[in-house]
Structure 1
Amino acid sequence: MWKQRQGNNCNNPTMAPYTITYFPVRGRCAAMKIMLSDLGQEWKENLVNFEEWMKGDLKGTCVFGQLPKFQDGDLVLFQSNAILRHLARKHGAYGKDDKEAALIDMMNDGVEDLRLKYARLIYQEYETGKSQYLKDLPDHLSKFEAVLAKNKSGFLVGDKISFADYSLFDVLYNHTVLCSTCLDSFPALKSFVEKMSARPKIKALLECEAYKKLPINGNGKQ
């Protein structure tokens, strides 16, 4: 039987409608925690260490053999982007109409492409490929810079924050840890990160000691 460890001193989970089960890292749950915090939502958290996970009991109950696991009442979801979309639909972060929703999906897919490149570096090529990755990074960032520079609202799509904005912020925040100067040539992206970081409930999460103690990635590299 796998053991649950309750965690998250950054919100008040007493009456939380949601439960997140994940490893004690930020990883794939960072964007959803940032989003939940900004939207004023509470959650309970079950932290699973590597030894517990390797026993296989919990893994066997996961549809794709992966975490995070997200529970909303009797609805159980896996796949982080599916979870973000579910929360966006419930809490008004999916655009004002179908057109905006389609554009938000497109932008989030673009963020996912960058996230996967980042993950490949962190978990497979950190020692040998970091220099080349940073050399190629401006080409990837320029796509998002162009979108944000064009949209005067400061968000990726329309005039209201969406789940794609939370996802982009998470990825960009991780990149500023990887290289503190990586956004210096991208004023729209730099402004976006600064404004997102300053949103009161996101700022509170980022400054929460329990959250800060969580490593960004599972292997300790960042």
Structure 2
Amino acid sequence: MAPMIFGYWDVRGIFQPIRYVLEHVGEQYEFKSYSVGTNTWFEQKASLGMDFPNLPYLIDGDVQLTQSNAILHYLGKKYGLVAKNEKDQRIQDMFDGMLWDITYGAAMFFYPHMRGRMYPDGLEEGKSTYLNAKIKPKLEELDRWMANKRYIFGDTMHYNDFVLFERLDAHHTAFPDLLAQYPNLQRFYHDMLNEKGVETVLGSDKWSKAFNGPQADWGGPEGFHQPWDPKTRSSVGFRKRLVDRGACLLTVPEALSCLSAIMWHCSRFITLHPICRGGVFYQQFRVRESTWMNRQYDIALSIAPVLCSVLKSPNLLREIESRNRF
């Protein structure tokens, strides 16, 4: 039988727990990596024949799935890593929701285009709000639950354990002192480091180590292993490379790819800033907004000159930075 096929961006992201499961059970599979900043995925997605094409995806014979939780459910049932009775199924469902809340909450903080809406008071104030109001209450609940338990469901491993570990690993890396406040979670975290699958993945250079994409302020390909520091945000290098390449955006394919990768990032800003709102950039975006995800190169070619001039404006860059929108 042909091996299962999976596709996702070339970062850990929400695929990493799926990878842990696959390596834990020793399943042979093919992984198709899509680079952030290229158009490959958007060119291929419509041709895959999926009902709801998205990343990550799974192809297992006639089975085609998207959405990370759906894939984890499928693999959990396939390999016996799901709840065995109705009571545990209810708990499993709750953990699916709680762990997704943590995942999405982290994205709302680490990705600046999302943080501007949730944490408008700046980076340091935002960090305090995120930790104290968002993540710590959930960690306290999880720590109580994990008392006297090896895994979430006692002595039996489920796919949820890999999701919880990945969320803890990201926060432990970003905030090294955080887990020490939760002894049960800390014990679980260190035990999981030695589990088959986790140890295999984290000990290999075969897969990306970056928690997030290059647009994120932390956990991107640059400095993914470093603690959170607003002075060394990983997205700064990503933005600087784009600005430095501004003069050649129309002639270098790599630069066009870089531009297409942040089109969605800029789109939230251009509808707010008066310079962009009244200019060619905004007008062309409005005309094409319904289909731009599938026509990134076309859009990049048409608005690149305007975008270059906008990005090279020091005053505008400072305003973008102050709003945490880029």
Q: Tell me if TM exceeds 0.5.
A: yes
Amino acid at match of 1:125: R
Q: Shift of the alpha carbon at 1:134? A: 2.1
Which position in structure 2 is the counterpart of 1:10? none
Separation (CA, whole Å) in 1 of partners of 2:130 and 2:138: 10
**Could you tell me which of 131, 138, 143 is aligned with 1:140?**
138
Q: Shift of the alpha carbon at 1:65? A: 4.7
Deviation digits for residues 140-173 of structure 1 (CA, Å, limit 9, x no counterpart): 2111111111xx3311124311111111111111
Give the conservation status (yes or no) of the 8 Å contact 1:148–1:189. yes
Q: Shift of the alpha carbon at 1:53? A: 4.0
Amino acid at match of 1:147: W
Which position in structure 2 is the counterpart of 1:103? 91
Give the percent of matched residue pairs that are identical in Structure 1 and Structure 2: 27
Give the conservation status (yes or no) of the 8 Å contact 1:95–1:160. no
Q: Normalising by structure 2, what TM-score? A: 0.58
**Could you tell me which of 208, 211, 214 is aligned with 1:216?**
211
What SS does structure 1 have at the residue aligned with 2:38? Answer: helix
What SS does structure 2 have at the residue aligned with 1:96? Answer: coil
Q: Which moved more, 1:114-123 or 1:41-50?
A: 41-50
Gaps of 5+ in 2: 117-121, 220-326
Structure with greater Cα Rg: 2
Q: Shift of the alpha carbon at 1:200? A: 3.5
Q: Does 1:59 align with 2:56?
A: no
Separation (CA, whole Å) in 2 of partners of 1:130 and 1:35: 31
Q: 1:96 to 1:119 in 2, by over 3 A?
A: same
Separation (CA, whole Å) in 2 of partners of 1:195 and 1:140: 20
Q: Does 1:38 align with 2:24?
A: yes
Separation (CA, whole Å) in 2 of partners of 1:65 and 1:177: 32
Separation (CA, whole Å) in 2 of partners of 1:131 and 1:210: 35
Tell which has more relative contact order, 1 or 2 (C-alpha 8 A, sep 6+): 1
What SS does structure 1 have at the residue aligned with 2:106? Answer: helix
Q: Does 1:184 align with 2:174?
A: no
Separation (CA, whole Å) in 2 of partners of 1:86 and 1:95: 12
What SS does structure 2 have at the residue aligned with 1:51? Answer: coil
Give the conservation status (yes or no) of the 8 Å contact 1:37–1:201. yes
Q: Shift of the alpha carbon at 1:16? A: 6.6
Alignment RMSD (CA, Å): 2.0
Deviation digits for residues 24-56 of structure 1 (CA, Å, limit 9, x no counterpart): 1111110100111112222211111232247x3
Alignment length (residue pairs) = 204
Give the conservation status (yes or no) of the 8 Å contact 1:22–1:68. yes
Gaps of 5+ in 1: 1-14
**Could you tell me which of 160, 163, 173 is aligned with 1:164?**
160
Separation (CA, whole Å) in 1 of partners of 2:25 and 2:177: 29
Which position in structure 2 is the counterpart of 1:5? none
Structure 1's consecutive aligned runs of 4 or more residues displaced over 3 angstroms after TM superposition are 61-65
**Could you tell me which of 115, 125, 129 is aligned with 2:115?**
125
